[in-house]
C-alpha cells in the first residue's frame, strides 16, 4: 500500500522536474516575484511632491515650508502663479499645492483667524489624506498652541509600520494559493486529457490512494517552495520577524496546501481540458485572494462578501499566518484557523473522491 503511494509520488515529482518550463515558473514565483512585491512598495506617504505659491514675501510662510522635509516630502517647489501650480497638479507632478495669500502674514501677525489654502490631488485619496494630517500637525506645532493632551501611540509587533514584510508575506500567500490549486488540477487533467486516467482507475489500486498520492506530490513541491521563500526571501532579504512558532506555520502551510490541492481536485473533476482548468481556477482564485482579508479586513467588507469568505480556506490561512508571524499568537489560540482549513479540506476531498475517483 505505502509502496504504491510513494511510487506515484516519486513519479509525479520526476515528471515535474522534467518539465523545465513549469519548474522555472514555479521557482520564479517563489523567489523573484515575492521579492519584487516586498521591495516595490511603501504605501506610507514618502517623497510627496509639494508645490507652493508665496505672495507674502517670506517670513512665516518659509518657516512652514521648511517643516516639509524628507523622507516624507520632496523639497517643495516654488511656483509663480496659481495657474502654473494647478497645471503641475493636473499633470501629476506634485500631489499637494499650498497657497500663501498676500494677507496671510498680516492676518497672522494681527492675531486674526488665518487661513491657509491647500490643494490636494484627491485621486490618490489615502496619500493626500495622510499628507493633510501631517500639514495639520506642522501648523499646530507652529502655532505654538500648548496642547493639553498628548497621544502616545505604539504600533505593536511592527513599530515602524514597515510595509516590506507585510507585502512580501501577502504575495507569498497568494503564490502558495495559486500554485497549490493549479499544479494538482493540472496533474489530474493532463491524465484525463490523455485518457490515462481511466486506465489508472481500472488498475487494482484504490483510487483514493492514487488521488492522495498525486496531490501529496504537488503539496510537497509547494511546501518546499514555501520553505525556500521563507528562508531566502523573508528571513534573508526582508528580516521578517517570527514572533510565533515556526512549526505552527509549517503545519498550517502543509494543511492549507492540502486543502487548496482539494480545490484543485475539484477544478480537475469538473473540467475536461487544461484550458478549462486555467479558466476555472482563475475564477476561483481571484475572489479567494481578494476577499481573503489580505487587502481589506473581512469585517470591513460588504456583508455578502463576509459570508462568502467563510468558505475560503485562504481566509483562515492568511489570518493565521499574520498571527504567527507578527502577533506571536499562542499555538492554542490558533485552533480555529487549523479547524477551518481542515473542515474545508475534508469536504473537498470527499467530493473529489466521489467525482473523479470512480469510472462509472
Partner 1 sequence: MKWRVIKAYIVKELTELIRTRLIVMVYLMPSMILLLFGYGIRMEVTHARTIILDYDQSHFSHMLTEKFEHSKYFDAQIGLMSEAQALHQIKKAKADMILIIPASFQKRLLHGQKSEIGLFIDGAFPTRATTMESYVQGVVLQASQEAENIALKKGMIVINNRNLFNQAMRDENAMVPGLIGLVLLVAPAILAALLIVKEKEKGTIFNFYASPVGKGEFLIAKLAPAFLLHSLNIFILFLWATYLFEVPFRGSFWLYWLSSELYIFISLGIGMLISVVTRSQIAAVVMTVIVTLLPGFLYSGIILPISAMDKASYIEAHFFPIMYYNHILYDTFLISQGIASEKIVLYLGVLFLYAVILLGLGTLFLKKELR
Find the binding residues for partner 1 in span 145-184 (CB under 8 A).
145, 147-159, 161-163, 166, 171, 178-179, 182
Cα three-residue angle 34-71-153, rounded to 5 degrees: 85
Find out whether 72 and 25 touch, Cβ atoms under 8 Å. no
Question: In the set 55, 62, 82, 114, which binds partner 1 (CB under 8 A)?
Answer: 114
Q: Is 237 in the site for partner 1 (CB under 8 A)?
A: no
Q: Is 6 in the site for partner 1 (CB under 8 A)?
A: no
- Residue among 129 and 350 whose Cβ is closer to partner 1: 129
d(CA 338, CA 252): 7
Smallest separation, CB 247 to partner 1 (Å): 18
Find out whether 98 and 72 touch, Cβ atoms under 8 Å. no
Run of H or E including 244: none
Please list every residue from 24 through 83 that binds partner 1, using CB under 8 A.
Answer: 25, 28-29, 33, 36-37, 40-49
Residue 99, phi then psi, degrees to nearest 5: -120, 115
Question: In the set 51, 65, 128, 180, which binds partner 1 (CB under 8 A)?
Answer: 128
Question: In the set 201, 301, 342, 343, which binds partner 1 (CB under 8 A)?
Answer: 301
Number of residues interacting with partner 1: please give it, by CB under 8 A.
111
Termini Cα distance of the chain: 24
Question: In the set 27, 122, 224, 310, which binds partner 1 (CB under 8 A)?
Answer: 122
Maximum C-alpha span of the chain: 96
Cα dihedral angle (254, 255, 257, 263), rounded to 10 degrees? 170
Q: Helices 163-194 and 274-290 meet at what angle, rounded to 10?
A: 160
Smallest separation, CB 117 to partner 1 (Å): 5
Smallest separation, CB 325 to partner 1 (Å): 8
Smallest separation, CB 346 to partner 1 (Å): 24
Cell numbers at residue 189, please?
487533467
Question: In the set 27, 228, 286, 310, which binds partner 1 (CB under 8 A)?
Answer: 286
Question: In the set 136, 202, 231, 247, which binds partner 1 (CB under 8 A)?
Answer: 136
Smallest separation, CB 204 to partner 1 (Å): 31
Question: In the set 6, 15, 80, 142, which binds partner 1 (CB under 8 A)?
Answer: 142
- Residue among 44 and 351 whose Cβ is closer to partner 1: 44
Find out whether 183 and 25 touch, Cβ atoms under 8 Å. no
Return the bridge partners of 52, or none: 78, 98
Amino acid at each position: 500500500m505505502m509502496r504504491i503511494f510513494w511510487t506515484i509520488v516519486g513519479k509525479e515529482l520526476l515528471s515535474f522536474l522534467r518539465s523545465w518550463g513549469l519548474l522555472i515558473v514555479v521557482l520564479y514565483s517563489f523567489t523573484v516575484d515575492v521579492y519584487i512585491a516586498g521591495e516595490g512598495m511603501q504605501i506610507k506617504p514618502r517623497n510627496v511632491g509639494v508645490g507652493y505659491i508665496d505672495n507674502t514675501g517670506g517670513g512665516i510662510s518659509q518657516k512652514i515650508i521648511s517643516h516639509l522635509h524628507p523622507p516624507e516630502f520632496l523639497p517643495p517647489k516654488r511656483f509663480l502663479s496659481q495657474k502654473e501650480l494647478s497645471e503641475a497638479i493636473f499633470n501629476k507632478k506634485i500631489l499637494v499645492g499650498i497657497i500663501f495669500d498676500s494677507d496671510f502674514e498680516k492676518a497672522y501677525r494681527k492675531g486674526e483667524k488665518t487661513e491657509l489654502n491647500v490643494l490636494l490631488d484627491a485621486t490618490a485619496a489615502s496619500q493626500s489624506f495622510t499628507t493633510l494630517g501631517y500639514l495639520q500637525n506642522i501648523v499646530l506645532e507652529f502655532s505654538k498652541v500648548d496642547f493639553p493632551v498628548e497621544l502616545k501611540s505604539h504600533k505593536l509587533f511592527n513599530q515602524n509600520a514597515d510595509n516590506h514584510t507585510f507585502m512580501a508575506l501577502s504575495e507569498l500567500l497568494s503564490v502558495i494559493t495559486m500554485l497549490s490549486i493549479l499544479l494538482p488540477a493540472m496533474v489530474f487533467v493532463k491524465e484525463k486529457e490523455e485518457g490515462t486516467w481511466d486506465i489508472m482507475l481500472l488498475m487494482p489500486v484504490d483510487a483514493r490512494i492514487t488521488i492522495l498520492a498525486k496531490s501529496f506530490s504537488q503539496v510537497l513541491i509547494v511546501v518546499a517552495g514555501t520553505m525556500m521563500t521563507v528562508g531566502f526571501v523573508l528571513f534573508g532579504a526582508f528580516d521578517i520577524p517570527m514572533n510565533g512558532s515556526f512549526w505552527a506555520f509549517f503545519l498550517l502551510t502543509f494543511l492549507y496546501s492540502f486543502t487548496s490541492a482539494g480545490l484543485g481536485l475539484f477544478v480537475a473533476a469538473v473540467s475536461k481540458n487544461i484550458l478549462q482548468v486555467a479558466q476555472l481556477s482563475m475564477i476561483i482564485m481571484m475572489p479567494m485572494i481578494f476577499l481573503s482579508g489580505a487587502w481589506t479586513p473581512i469585517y470591513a467588507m460588504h456583508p455578502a462578501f463576509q459570508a462568502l469568505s467563510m468558505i475560503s480556506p485562504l481566509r483562515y490561512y492568511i489570518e493565521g499566518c499574520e498571527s504567527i508571524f507578527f502577533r506571536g499568537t499562542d499555538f492554542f489560540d490558533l485552533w480555529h484557523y487549523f479547524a477551518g482549513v481542515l473542515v474545508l479540506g475534508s469536504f473537498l476531498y470527499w467530493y473529489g473522491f466521489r467525482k473523479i475517483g470512480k469510472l462509472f
